[in-house]
Amino acid sequence: MTLKCVQSRRSWTQTTENSCLRPIDRNGKLLCPVPDSYTLKEAELKMGSSLGLCPGKAPTSSQLFLFFTVGSDVQPGTEMEIIVEETMSVRDCLQLMLGKSGLPGDRWHLRKMDWCYEAGEPLCEEDATLRELMICSGDTLLLIEGKLPPPGFLKVPLWWYQPGGSPGHWKNHQDQRNGAPSPGGVWRAAATQGAPGDLHGEVSLRYLGDLEISEEATVAELKSQAMTLFSSSGFVIPSPAFLRAWTVERKRLGRLLRINRQQLRDYKLGRKTEICLEPLQEEENLGPQDVVLRTRMRLPGERAYAPCVDLVWDTARGWTAGSLRQRVAHFCSLPVEKIEIAKYFPEKFEWLPISSWNQQFTKRKKKKKQDNLQGAPYYLKDGDTIGIKNVLLEDDGDFSTDADDLGRGTPRRPSSQDALRERSRDLGCGATTPGRPRAPEASLSIHVRSFR
C-alpha cells in the first residue's frame, strides 16, 4: 500500500491533491516530503513514526527537495525550502535561492553543510548539475557571501597568531566581518595543542583578511603576500622567514606548512582551509624531516612548568623515542639518563611518558619492538607539547599540574616528594611521628616437590 492510500474519504480528495506527507523527527522538525509513489518500506517508516500532512506537492522522481539558509550559523527551524530539478545547474540553483531569500547582488556562492553541521567545501563547478555533484533530497545548502575565486586559485582566510590572551571564544571570519569585533579587532580561540604561553591558556587570533592566491604559489610567496595585509594591522615583520604558517583545523592549529619552496597545491589545502601566521624571534627555514615541538621544563618542587621553548627535531634517523630523548637532552644540556619526557594531551588533561623502547609480548618470547612516535599511543606531530623533568631534582613520575587535576575532576595524589617535605616539616617543628605498628611474626613453611 502506498502512502497516498491513507486518505480514503472523498471529502479529503481536494486537500490531498495539494498536500504531501512529511516525517517528523524527535525534535519536531519536518523532514523531506515522501514521494506519493513510495511504499511504507521505501519511505523507511516504522511503527510509531510521526507524519505531518503539509501543503504543497511532494517532489517527483526527477526533483530534489532542499533546505537552504543564509550564512553558516544555522539555527534550527530557520531553514527555507525549495524544490528544484536534479538537472539544474549550480548557478541556476544559486540564483533561484537568492531570489527566494530576497538577496541582491552576485557576490554569493553555495556550500553544502557537512555532517558536523558546518560549512563544507564550496560548490565551485557552477555549470555542473546538482545530480553530478551528488546533491540529494534533504540536503542543506548554505548561501555564503563572497564570490568564488577563478579556477586554480584559493581564497584563504588569514589569521594572526598572538600568544597568550584572555578566555573567550572563537568566531569564524564570516561572523567577524558581519558582526562587531572586540576592542582592537582581536578574537579569542579555544586552547590549542600548539599554543605557546600558558599550558592551559587561550590562543588569541586576529583576523587579517582573505588572500586570493594561486595554487601554484609557494609557501614563501603566501607569506610574502600576507605581509601586505600587515601594514594596516600594525605588525612589523622583517622578512617572510620570520613567519611560521599553520593550517587551522576544527578551531585548532593543524598542519605546519614547513617547506617554503613547496607549492600550495602539494599540501592539498582545499577551498575552506584557513591559515594562521605565527611570528618568530629569528629566521627559520625548516626541512622536510624537521618537526617543531613545544618543550616545557618542569619546575622542581612545584606542579608547574616554565614558559615553553620551541624545539626543532630532525627526524631523519627515525621517529624513535631514543632519538627524541637524545635531542631533548642536548637541547637542555643534561645527560640523557637524567631526564624524563612526556607528551601532553590537552583534551584529556593527561601526560603520557615517552620511554626509550616498548615491549611486545608474544606467545613464545618477549622482544623489543622499534617504536614509532607517529603511531599509537603518542601520535606525535608538529605543535605538540613535550614536558621535561630533571630527575636529579625530581625523581617521581608525576607530570600533571593542579590544573590537570581540576580538568580531569580527580583529586591530587600526594607524591613521594610531598611526603618527604611533610616529614621534614614535622621534624623541624619537633613533632614526633608514631611508628607504624608491626604485625606479629609468623613462621613460613615452603614444601618443594621432587620432579626427578
Tens digits of residue pLDDT in 198-234 = 454 445 778 888 898 999 999 999 999 998 887 666 6
Secondary structure in 3-state letters for 281-334: CCCCCCCCCEEEEEEEEECCCCCCECCCEEEEEECCCCCCHHHHHHHHHHHHCC
Which pLDDT band, with edges at 50, 70 and 90, does 306 fall under? very high
CA distance linking residue 216 with residue 209, whole number of Å: 21
Is residue 57 scored above 80 in pLDDT? yes
Q: In a 3-state reduction of DSSP, which class is residue 279?
A: strand
Instruction: Supply the pTM of this predicted model.
Output: 0.64
Judge contact between 357 and 371, C-beta under 8 A. Answer: yes
pLDDT at residue 217, rounded to an integer = 93
Q: Which of 28-32, 112-116, 384-388, 423-427 has the lowest mean pLDDT?
A: 423-427
294 pLDDT more than 80: yes
Confidence of residue 113 (pLDDT cuts 50, 70, 90): confident
* Spatial separation of the C-alpha atoms in residues 151 and 235, rounded to whole Å: 32
pLDDT at 423 over 60: no
Per-residue pLDDT at 428: 46
Q: Give per-residue pLDDT as tens, 72-111.
A: 777 766 789 999 999 999 999 999 999 988 888 778 889 8
Higher local confidence (pLDDT), 1 or 241: 241
Least confidently predicted of 178-192, 347-361, 382-396, 399-413: 178-192
Tell me the mean pLDDT in the region 361-375.
61
What Cα–Cα distance (Å) separates residue 61 from each residue in 9, 35, 65, 140, 426?
Answer: 27, 8, 11, 19, 84
Three-class secondary structure of residue 158 per DSSP: strand
CA dihedral 144, 245, 159, 147 (to 10 degrees): -20
Give the chain's domains with CATH numbers: 3-55 (no CATH), 63-145 (3.10.20.90), 153-279 (3.10.20.90), 290-417 (3.10.20.90)
Kindly list the distances between the CA atom of residue 46 and the CA atoms of 26, 77, 353, in Å, as whole numbers in the listed order: 14, 24, 51
Q: Of 55-69, 172-186, 196-210, 363-377, which one has max mean pLDDT?
A: 55-69
Q: Are 202 and 168 in contact (CB under 8 A)?
A: yes
Closest CA to 154 of 110, 177, 124, 109: 124
Gap between the Cα atoms of 123 and 141, Å rounded: 10
138: left (phi > 0), else alpha (psi -120 to 50), else beta? left
Of 54-58, 239-243, 425-429, the range with the highest mean pLDDT is 239-243
Model pLDDT, residue 359: 43
The residue count for the chain: 452
| Strand, coil or helix: 380 | coil
User: Taking 50 as the threshold, does the pLDDT of residue 369 lie above it?
Assistant: yes
Residue 104 burial by Cβ neighbours in a 10 Å radius (0-12, 13-18, 19+) = exposed
